[in-house]
Amino acid sequence: MSTADRTTALVAWWVATYTRRLPVEVAARRRAELISDVWEQRAHGRAMGTPTAAVTLSILRRMAAGIPADLRWRHQQLAAAEGRPLRPGGRHLPHLLARSWWLVLATLLGAFQVVVGIGTALGGSDGAGILLPGDPAGATRRAAIITTGGLLALWGIAQRRRSRVAGDLLIAVGMLPPVAWLWVSGPAMIVSLLALTVTVAAVVQAAQVRRLGRRGAPLAADDRMRLGNAVVLVAVVAAAALLGRPTASALVVGLVILGLLAYVGLRRRRRTS
């Protein structure tokens, strides 16, 4: 199965998940529309000669960015099916989940990293090749990186009460080790994509809090998109560097400089607007 096929399967899994227990016609329509959309996007990419990786990344971004809207839509459909009105008080939990879904994911992934890291360290290098790719001799070092990443993410979640920005950035950094599993086939790749999604969400949230958009206004949708795409790029290369790839390490330095320049540019734009 190719990466593009896996991505299609991931979208199909997600739409099947959030349409569960909805009326049959409503669920079937949404599933069929999404499957058609992804098929059309892949066909369009092939016709235009767009690299498969770019199409795959675009599909993943569209899926991840639409998760809050998917959850709100599900809540509305459930309410309509059960004949109950949508009230602000009555939708507290779904509303909270729609806003904080990435924090739930970050908590699960952080805990998962700690368990995998400690388990690998205690159990030796057996099985480390699956989740901690690379030279088996370096499995202990990679286990330490994974554990540290998990602890950083969990610390970041706790830290958000004191400083939202610091907490979000800690979460983003803590998600980098599992992003490295992007090069691993099987379920680990799904974990990697989820970690990438959390990284993007955390950095965008931090930027929102810092109000890098116009004064007093939230970050514009286009700026959020640009920031998200930049974060995906930086996170993937940084994750490759964690695996000890020298070219990637050099790229990380370059991308960090680019990121700082973008940050300064956004700040300047905010001041002048």
Partner 1 sequence: MRRKPGTLLPLEVDILHAGLQLRRDGVSRFHGFQLAKQLADHPRPRTLTAHGTLYKALQRLEEAGLLVSRWEDPQVAAAEGRPRRRLYELTGAGERALAAGQARHGQASTRPRLEPT
Q: For binding to partner 1 (CB under 8 A), which residues are involved?
A: 11, 29-30, 32-37, 39-41, 43-44, 58, 61-70, 72-73, 221-222, 225, 229
Whole-angstrom distance, CA of residue 141 vs CA of residue 87: 51
Shortest Å distance, C-beta 272 to partner 1: 20
What the block records as the tokens of 154 is 């969990």
Whole-angstrom distance, CA of residue 178 vs CA of residue 187: 12
Contact at 8 Å (CB) between 76 and 86? Answer: yes
Between 226 and 245, whose beta carbon lies closer to partner 1?
226
Between 154 and 194, whose beta carbon lies closer to partner 1?
194
Whole-angstrom distance, CA of residue 267 vs CA of residue 273: 10
**Which distant-in-sequence residues (6+ apart) come within 8 Å of 250 by Cβ?**
none
Shortest Å distance, C-beta 37 to partner 1: 5
Between 73 and 183, whose beta carbon lies closer to partner 1?
73
Contact at 8 Å (CB) between 56 and 3? Answer: yes
Between 77 and 192, whose beta carbon lies closer to partner 1?
77
Shortest Å distance, C-beta 166 to partner 1: 28
Contact at 8 Å (CB) between 155 and 162? Answer: no
Shortest Å distance, C-beta 219 to partner 1: 13
What the block records as the tokens of 67 is 């998760």
Between 18 and 183, whose beta carbon lies closer to partner 1?
18
Between 22 and 139, whose beta carbon lies closer to partner 1?
22
**Which distant-in-sequence residues (6+ apart) come within 8 Å of 233 by Cβ?**
255
Shortest Å distance, C-beta 132 to partner 1: 32
Three-state SS at 80: helix
Q: Which residue has the tokens 């790719």?
A: 133
Shortest Å distance, C-beta 24 to partner 1: 15
Contact at 8 Å (CB) between 111 and 150? Answer: yes
